Amino acid sequence: MPVPMPPKSPKKDVNWGRLSKTLSFWLLILLIPVALIQLSGARSEQAPLISYTQYKSELDRDNIRKVKIQAGKYVQGEFKTPVPYDGRNVPKFNVRLPMENAQAEVDSLNKHSVVIEAEDARPSVTAYILNFLPWLLLIGFYLFLFRQMQAGGAKAFSFGKSKAKLLTGDTPKVTFADVAGADEAKQELQEIIEFLRDPQKFTKLGGRLPKGALLVGPPGTGKTLLARAVAGEAGRPFFSMSGSDFVEMFVGVGASRVRDLFEQGKAHAPCIIFIDEIDAVGRHRGAGLGGGHDEREQTLNQLLVEMDGFESNDGVILIAATNRPDVLDPALLRPGRFDRQIVVDSPDLRGREGILKVHLRNKPIADDVDITTLARGTPGMAGADLANLVNEAALLAVRRNHDRIYMMDLEDAKDKVMLGVERKSMVMKEDERRLTAYHEAGHAICAIKIKGNDPLHKVTIVPRGRALGLAFTLPEDDRVSITRQQLEARLVMSYGGRTAEEIVFGRDRVTTGAASDIQQATAIARRYVTQWGLSEAIGPVLVGDNEQELFLGREIQHRREVSEQTAQIVDSEVKRVIEEAYSRAKKTLEDNLDLLHMVAGALLERETLTREDIAILSKGGVLPPRVSGAAPGGSPSPSPTPALEPRRTPPFLGGPEPSPA
């Protein structure tokens, strides 16, 4: 069977007219030095170059009137009577002396009463070219600019032109079918699209076209993707640019680009203009130290005027996106400029399921893939995180030589994204590995024994990222608030690792591995007291929260909002909350010391325990034999593992076994 040849790429038509103009231009530039060379040699061609013998003969005949000696070697002269040369009589001559200006030669000329002149050497052709080269380059540059302006380019003078890109029909389209997890935002934007398509449907009841819509949400939630979907759905001209494209080092360029952008919009009205990361140009005026006349604030002022100023820009809708609405100028956010603020928040369970379906629909997936289970195990993930998860799963499946993406690939990719990359090359000493196992077992037991914690998802002593081990919990449902019981349970779990080290190994062998736990617990405890009003000693009072005001630049000097007495009460309350959590964690582990040893032993043997494994151990059961990982689609082969018996005290490396207390 013959192998089909790949199609040849179509040849591009040559613009012969433009090519001929370009060649003519550079040919003219090259001919200028040639003309100068010819001009410099034209004078010398008028007088023939005679031999020195003929020159001496005419001098002896007293037929030379005057000579001009150049650099002592080259002579230009005039005959008294023209001399025949090549069939014509010439009155002048040129001759080269065989030696430099010798005294005998000068005496010979004086003897025949010849007028003698002298001059330096005449500049060479190379000197002419070097002298005229800067002028040639300058003339060529101006001619080049002139040709560009004639062609309509004028690129050298386009600083004030807008950098917005107009999406055309051949641009790959993204529609609302490619966007999931933002149903309310899609509905708001769909109404704007319908307004562009059929304005009479809304204007007959007195409605007017919205002037602006601001997409607000955390990073990665799909704000820019929604704007691209609007471009694909609208069927109208769509200009897109970034907020940083306005600000330049030249004063007034940003305002000029804003004017040019809206002029283009009015020429294509009705149309949509999208500005991504508008906080780069829309920050609160007066927030910096540069005064009110810096380039960024001039650009913002021009944007405010164009959106809702003396002249109306009917038919131009501005859509902007930002993840920092708190730093935007209030004049930019008012109705009449941005009529709508559309919140694009992190997706819920149904939204995550829809996003995963969008990213998996064009990929070969196995029958064991359960998208609902995967979505339930990824709370808090934004759309960009889920897209990264699916991509990591595809890359992992390729490395494993799978023919499709299996559920195990997605689960491992989820652990990689949420917990970090496994550091398989890291070799830990046996005593450090044992200490890490008890540390993570302490976290796990506090998680399952303290009411208010999220269900335990996985415990591992495999180093991931910067951590030597992890005890990971996942909420059963999406949560928008957190109770006092849950906060206190989280504090207890944070100190489970440190208390486990102290109970089993003693205070002298406690390590610095709990630094991150202590930092997180301290941050929660301080907000517990100062922001959430959960401390009886402080009460429901906000203490010392002026971060936003300081960030906006309204206050240059730090302003203390609490007295010394209140600050001491806050510190004592934070310490009390932390000590109570530490004591609860220690008592919980002492009451479940057998389970602590069992979980630590299982971690040392299996390295990773799931929620089901912990549940079996907490009921006093024995873990089933571990199943070796078989290739997807094949039958896994069980590998027997010795049963883990409950034990009161663990074996240690060297020395007597310490008391569990």
Query: Diameter of the chain by CA atoms?
Result: 137
161 vs 79, 119, 131, 654, CA distance in Å? 70, 58, 39, 77
Residue 461 corresponds to which tokens in the numbers above?
A: 């002593």
Residue 25 corresponds to which tokens in the numbers above?
A: 């231009």
Q: Is 559 helix (H, G, I), strand (E, B) or coil?
A: coil
Closest CA to 651 of 597, 615, 610: 597
Give the side-chain half-sphere CA count within 13 A for 201.
8
Q: 46-69 burial by CB neighbour count: b if 16+ within 10 A, else e? A: ebeebeeeebeebbeeeebeebeb
Residue 394 corresponds to which tokens in the numbers above?
A: 């595809």
Q: What is the strand order of the sheet 74-85 is part of?
A: 88-96, 74-85, 64-70, 115-119
Q: How far apart are CA 275 and CA 254, in angstroms?
A: 14
Q: Which residues are catalytic?
A: 440
To which residue do tokens 């593992």 refer? 641
User: Could you say which DSSP state residue 17 is in?
Assistant: H
Contact yes or no for 250/286 (Cβ under 8 A): no
The CA R_g of the chain, rounded to the nearest whole Å, is 43
Residue 168 corresponds to which tokens in the numbers above?
A: 């055309």
Per-residue three-class SS string for 135-178: HHHHHHHHHHHHHHHHCCCCHHHCCCCCCCEEECCCCCCCCHHH
Contact yes or no for 371/333 (Cβ under 8 A): no
Q: Helix 125-150 and helix 16-46: axis angle, to 10°? A: 150
Amino acid at 410: L
